A and B are shown apart, each in its own frame.
Chain A
Amino acid sequence: MRYGGDNRSRLLFVTLIVTSLFLITLDLRGVSLVTGLRHSTQGVFGPVQRAASDAFSPVGNFFSDIAHLGRTRAQLKNLQEQNSQLRTALVQRKDIETQIKQLKSVLNLAGTGGYKIVSAKVISQGTSASFSQSITIDVGANAHVTRDMTVICGDGLVGVVKEVYSSTALVMLESDPSFRVGVRIAGSQEIGILTGQGTDRAIMQLLDTQSTVKVGDVLLARGSEGGKPFVPGVPVGTVTSVPNSAGQVSQLAEVQFFTHLHSLGIVSVVLTPPINDPRDALVPPKPIPTPIPTVTIYATPPLGTATPGATPTATPTPTTKK
């Protein structure tokens, strides 16, 4: 038999409905009592929820992960691919930034020296054919590059073009043992012959037996007839040591190249030499010494006493370190 309910239950039901509607109205009108009640309840349940969340967080997404297993895998694969692409783009960006820096540097050098150049990208380091120290660049006869042209970069001399193809060229580096270039010392204008040694250092032999060379001297390319194979004024290196051995006919010096031959990205081939010799205009500026503050301590005896128990006073004195 179905229970039909009586007037008492209906009255109770209506009372509850009216109470609910009353509460809704109060809440929607923003009565502070209702808002406070909700806030206090949340204050009680908040810590419970936080504790539960900490406890169940490892398994919180268990069902979701199972339900979306295929989708999650696909998403993971997609993200891995994106990550890989971004890493590649980042490496390429860094490479491009380096190339831009090198290009700016070599353009600056060429502009100061008055060289007409064509810039090229190094597409190969070394060859197993003829030269032990060489690079291949991506310009050739199509860019009016010919044999025995000087190749420079932002730091100075790189080498000389030895073979030219339609769209590429082979450059002998200045470090090659068979490489020789006439150089002069910036300032004193003493001249000599620099020979590659297969490393980042070379040996210079002064032509004048009465001339002297000292550590720190900057060497520039002396220049050849018609600017081939070397244009004048290109920085080559700096003297790092001067061996002093008796019995030598002429003075020798060990030279460190300005150019970092292992990290060449962008180089330029000098198509035409400058109208006027740039002389020493391309000598790299000396590094500016960084001041390092040092502290000097003076022992000042206290007033009225002459005892050795002096109180030290620290006085900073700026000095420079080269």
Chain B
Amino acid sequence: MYTRRSINSVAIFLAVYLVQVMIFDQVHIPLGGFSIFLIFTLCWSALSTPEVGAIVGFFAGLLLDLAPASNGPLGQWALILSSIGFGIAFLRYGDDSLRSDPLSLVIFVAAAVVVAVTAYIGFNGLLGLEVGRTSQLIRTVIGNGLWTLAIAPFVLPVASRLHHAVFETREFQ
């Protein structure tokens, strides 16, 4: 049971990651663009228990760390996403008023994306890596948040159906 869930989850995340790498990474999107993989991961975490949220965040972060375009050390995204995955699941799970309100979930995910991107930039700054101009960073963070607000309403139903199929939980409507 546990193995089947894990295998299905890994397959789904790899598929989303491939979509990100093959399509969205090839298109130059204004305002810093967005990461469909990041949005999907945080949507998934928001629908899961804190344990699953943290584990999903960790392995999704590892995948991002191993991405060809990643310039930070291995484990950086894993640290950030496991923390945020745990946090978003901790705040969301069992909150029936929020679970029944898709708009708040979208806003929650958008806020989580902003926090994740900001944390990644901040971490890079702490490690002394090149992070770019402040104006560009602000534009990227805000752009990611706005794009997530626009994209998440389409990603959330897909993530919810897949999450339900894997964990056989109540599907988000």
Interface core residue of A3, A21, A46, A67 (most chain B CB under 10 Å): A3
A45 at the B interface (CB under 8 A): yes
Mask, A26-54, CB within 8 Å of B = 1, is: 11100000100110011001101101110
Q: Is the interface of B mostly helix, strand, loop or mixed?
A: helix
Contact residues on B (Cβ < 8 Å of other chain), bracket = 35 or more
Q: How far is the CA of A17 from the CA of B83 in the complex (A)?
A: 7
A16 touches B55 (CB 8 A): yes
Given contacts A48-B18, A49-B25, A63-B27, contact A16 B54 (CB under 8 A): yes
Count chain A residues whose beta carbon lies closer than 8 angstroms to a beta carbon of B: 42
B75 touches A22 (CB 8 A): yes
A27 touches B50 (CB 8 A): no
A35 to chain B minimum Cβ distance, whole angstroms, is 9
B75 touches A23 (CB 8 A): yes
B21 at the A interface (CB under 8 A): yes
Q: How far is the CA of A63 from the CA of B27 in the complex (A)?
A: 7
A24 at the B interface (CB under 8 A): yes
Q: Which residue of the partner chain, among B29, B51, B96, contacts A64 with CB atoms under 8 Å?
A: B29
A57 at the B interface (CB under 8 A): yes
Given contacts A48-B22, A63-B29, A64-B29, contact A20 B61 (CB under 8 A): yes
B residues with CB within 8 A of A: 18, 21-23, 25-30, 49-51, 54-55, 57-58, 61-62, 65-68, 73-76, 78-79, 82-83, 86, 90-91, 93-96, 127
A residues with CB within 8 A of B: 1-3, 5, 8-9, 12-13, 16-17, 19-24, 26-28, 34, 37-38, 41-42, 45-46, 48-49, 51-53, 55-57, 59-64, 67-68
Query: When A and B form their complex, which 5 residue pairs have the shortest distance between CB atoms, in order from nearest?
Result: A23-B75, A20-B79, A3-B94, A52-B22, A56-B26
Other than the given A8-B51, A20-B58, 20 more pairs (CB < 8 A) read A3-B49, A9-B54, A12-B54, A13-B54, A16-B58, A17-B79, A19-B58, A23-B75, A24-B74, A24-B79, A27-B75, A34-B74, A45-B21, A48-B21, A51-B22, A52-B23, A52-B25, A56-B23, A59-B27, A67-B30
